Each structure stands twice: as structure tokens, then as C-alpha cells.
A and B are shown apart, each in its own frame.
Chain A
Amino acid sequence: MVTISLTQPLSTHVKLSKGDKLKLTFQVVEKDGGKGVQPHQTFLRFYDEESGEEGIQPVRVTNGGKAKFELDMAKPPVSLPPTSDVPLKVTLLIGSPLHSPLKLELFDLLVPASQALPVHPEEPNFHPLPEIHHTFRPDQKMPPRPISAIFSAVVVAPWAVLLALVGD
């Protein structure tokens, strides 16, 4: 059992194996007076710095400000993000309209690596597509001059026929 200081995050990683359980208890009190406070929002944030994955776990706090959170590796909570060998940074986030917000870095958590995320079927649409290189049809060419000349004569010949027929 370890007490976490408010001024310094824990120096050693907390390592959890398959069958381990992590229990976290704390009490939220006012700065001056020490009266218990039930904040509107209390979250534990698990953040993987390398992949950018994060999970948010809401924590139930009693009227007196007491809170208890249990992480059982045999039944991991849905809020635990996909993990690899990189440790998760665990932060406590507290929000309340009557007090200033609190963001407290607690400790680094090492859990067994999860299965790789399935690739979203739309994933390729979010990256630039491969560049298209068009190859256009080569330009059409004129036929060689002699053939052109011969067929010009062939096409003009009917005029001669017409003049012969009409000028009788």
C-alpha cells in the first residue's frame, strides 16, 4: 500500500499483471477547513503518450468526499485504452463549479499489452491517396503524303464524271 504525495508524482511504475487488482482510495476536501466535498466531476484519465490513446474512467465520490476505485485485471474496465509496452499515465481530474479545477498526475501504470486495434474500414480515406499518373493516348497522326494525295484525287474524280455526264 502506497501513499501518493500531492506535490510529486510517484517515481516507480505501478505494474499490474494478469490477475492483479489495483485499489485507489482518496478523499476530496476543501483547501481551507478540510471539509469533505463531493465534486461534480471526478475522472481518472489513462493516457498512452506514444499512441495517443486515452480512456476516461468516472469515479463515484460520496457526499463526504470519499472515493474508491478498483481496477481488476481479470475484468478490465471498458475505459482502459488499448495498451502496448508503454506505461499509461494516470491523472486525476476533478471539476466543480464552486472550486477551481484540479489535474493531478498520479503515477505510471504498466498493464499487459492488449490486442492490436482492428483497423477501421474507413481508415484509408483519412490519408492521402496514392498519386495518379495519367498516360494519355498518343496524338493521332496524318497519313503519309502520297496516300493523302492519291485519295484526294479519288475524291475529286467524281466531279470529272459529273461534268462528263452533264456536258453531253
Chain B
Amino acid sequence: MAPKSSTTTSANVVQALWKAYRDDTADRLKFIDAFLFFLMLSGIAQFLYCILVTDYPFNAFLAGFASTVGQFVLTASLRSQVNPENKKEFKDVSPERAFGDFALGSIVLHFFVYNFLG
């Protein structure tokens, strides 16, 4: 692609970034990214409720918020381990192994969340 001129606006830069993301990222990673975005939205929504309205069943807030944050962390680590560009970093972790870890971690997290929800 031809280099942009120095008078490029920031909107153009963002658009170029977005286009590069759409074109160059593998489908698998985009799937995971959609999940990450969903988790972020969900966490923000719960946090806003807690701040704006009430934290009345506090354990419920903690459980819900912890589930989004915890799942986000697990999914982000899965994404970095599964990304083919990071193969050098994770030589002894196959993508299947990463997914297995992710699944196990998610089960433990949801066990905690379910019990804490009350």
C-alpha cells in the first residue's frame, strides 16, 4: 500500500487501522475479539449500574463483575497463545493445550461466580 501523505488526519489513521484489522486478522482471532468486546461491554454495563443506581446485593455485583473480568483475562491469554504470530513465544504450548487451559479456567471461574451470586 502507498504511504500516506503527512497531512493525514487522525480519522484517516483510525480508518486505516480498522481496515488493516479487517483484512489481515484471521477469522479465529476475530471471533475471539468479538467475545472480548462483548465481555468488556457487559462489565462496563454492570459497573455503571453499581455506581449509578445501587450496589444493593453487593455479592451479586461482585460475582457478575468478576465473571466478566475473569473471563476477559482468560480469553485474552487464549488469544495471545493461539495467535500464529506469537508461535515463537509459546513454543511448548500448542493451541489445543491453550484452549484446554482456557476451558478449565472458565469452569473454575464460573463455579466461583455461581456460588457467589447468591
Q: Using a CB–CB distance below 8 Å, which chain A residues touch chain B? A: 140-143, 147-148, 151, 154-155, 157-159, 161-162, 165-166
Contacts and interface: CB of A to CB of B under 8 A. Distances in A.
A143 to B, nearest CB: 5
Given A140-B54, A143-B56, A166-B31, A155 B38 contact: no
Given A140-B56, A141-B56, A143-B56, A155 B34 contact: no
8 contacts: A140-B54, A143-B54, A154-B45, A155-B42, A161-B41, A162-B38, A165-B34, A166-B31
B37 interface: yes
A140 B53 CA distance: 12
B73 to A, nearest CB: 17
A74 to B, nearest CB: 77
Contacts of B54: 140, 142-143
B38 A147 contact: no
A143 B53 contact: yes
Contacts of A158: 38-39, 41-42, 45
Given A143-B53, A155-B46, 14 more contacts: A140-B54, A147-B53, A151-B49, A154-B49, A155-B49, A157-B41, A158-B39, A158-B45, A161-B38, A161-B41, A162-B34, A162-B35, A166-B31, A166-B35
Contacts of A155: 42, 45-46, 49
B38 to A, nearest CB: 4
B49 to A, nearest CB: 5
Closest 6 interchain pairs by CB? Answer: A162-B38, A165-B34, A158-B41, A158-B42, A155-B45, A151-B49
Given A140-B54, A140-B56, A165 B38 contact: yes
B38 A159 contact: yes
A166 B34 CA distance: 7
Contacts of B38: 158-159, 161-162, 165
A148 B49 CA distance: 9
Interface in B37-61: 37-39, 41-42, 45-46, 48-49, 53-54, 56
Nearest to B40: A158
Nearest to A152: B49
Nearest to B34: A165
Nearest to B30: A165
Interface in B8-48: 31, 34-35, 37-39, 41-42, 45-46, 48
Interface string B46-87: 101100011010000000000000000000000000000000
